[in-house]
Amino acid sequence: IVPCYNEQEALPIFYEESTKVLAGMDCEYEFLFVNDGSKDGTLELLKEFAKEDTHVTYIGFSRNFGKEAAMYAGLEQSNGDYVVIIDADLQDPPELIEEMYATLLEGEYDCVGSRRVTRKGESKIRSFFARQFYKIIRKISQTDIVDGARDFRMMTRQMVDSIISVKEYNRFSKGIFAWVGYRTKWLEFENIQRVCGTTKWSFWGLFIYAIDGIVA
């Protein structure tokens, strides 16, 4: 599941890189792109990919609803035995998918998540507020919300179905992923800069998201 908002620059690179990884794996796979009301050429690119590659499907929103809505729609539409959520800007290394899959096949875990252990390359102010947010939410919530955890993860069908059954309206997926339980293994990696394009989050947007997280 790949949430996409104005990713026309990053998408071709993402598609190529992740296809390399997936095609080399011993399993069937499918891309489910979610076009979150992009205003650039994202939708045209997705149409092209889908025309030429039967592994590609996409759904699209009538406007920009945000990454949370895009992830939820993707999870609802998904039907794989294992589901990965991954960003389109290559900040989530697709190579990790192989390791995630191998780990889940062993059967000990239901989810393999990813966690960046540095915030290198991110603005100091953003890092500062992000850390404060994690401090606060970890204090007020009994759910174990891991600092640096990304949405990038592979989950079993059973876990995905649990997540879909949570019908919260203002979703804070990092909380929901942890709240539904299940056994999660964490893979750690250093922060990677976006391959191209710019972040879709403004400071104010992140601030409102943090409030959503706390209230939820």
Residues touching ligand UDP: how many (CB under 6 A)?
17
Q: Which is nearer to ligand UDP, 156 or 173 (CB)?
A: 173
Residue type, 79: N
Q: Which does 92 bind (CB under 5 to 8 A by kind): Mg ion, ligand UDP, none?
A: none
Of the candidates 109, 183, 194, 187, the one whose C-alpha atom is nearest the C-alpha of residue 148 is: 187
Residue 84's H or E segment, with its range, is: strand 82-85
Draw the binding track, 5-44, toward ligand UDP (x: CB under 6 A; -: no contact).
Answer: x-x----------------------------x--------
Considering the rule CB under 5 A, would residue 7 count as an interface residue with Mg ion? no
- Radius of gyration for the chain, computed over Cα atoms and rounded to the nearest angstrom: 17
Q: Which is nearer to ligand UDP, 9 or 110 (CB)?
A: 9
Of the candidates 1, 159, 156, the one whose C-alpha atom is nearest the C-alpha of residue 82 is: 156
Considering the rule CB under 5 A, would residue 114 count as an interface residue with Mg ion? no
- Name, in order, each residue with C-beta under 8 angstroms of 100's C-beta and a sequence gap of 6 or more: 84, 112, 153, 154, 187
Considering the rule CB under 6 A, would residue 113 count as an interface residue with ligand UDP? no
CB of 105 to ligand UDP, least distance (A): 27
Considering the rule CB under 6 A, would residue 87 count as an interface residue with ligand UDP? yes
CB of 139 to ligand UDP, least distance (A): 23
Of the candidates 47, 21, 20, 22, the one whose C-alpha atom is nearest the C-alpha of residue 33 is: 47
d(CA 65, CA 152): 19
Candidate ranges 54-62, 65-73, 154-162, 187-195; the one touching Mg ion (CB under 5 A): 187-195
Of the candidates 138, 18, 183, 168, the one whose C-alpha atom is nearest the C-alpha of residue 85 is: 18
Considering the rule CB under 6 A, would residue 199 count as an interface residue with ligand UDP? yes
- Residue 194, SS3? coil
Considering the rule CB under 6 A, would residue 123 count as an interface residue with ligand UDP? no
6: left (phi > 0), else alpha (psi -120 to 50), else beta? left
Considering the rule CB under 6 A, would residue 45 count as an interface residue with ligand UDP? no
Q: Which does 185 bind (CB under 5 to 8 A by kind): Mg ion, ligand UDP, none?
A: none
Q: Which of 89, 92, 110, 151 binds Mg ion (CB under 5 A)?
A: 89
- Residue 13, SS3? helix
Q: Which is nearer to Mg ion, 172 or 179 (CB)?
A: 172
Question: Which positions lie near ligand UDP, rule CB under 6 A?
Answer: 3-5, 7, 36, 64, 66-67, 70, 87-89, 91, 194, 199-201
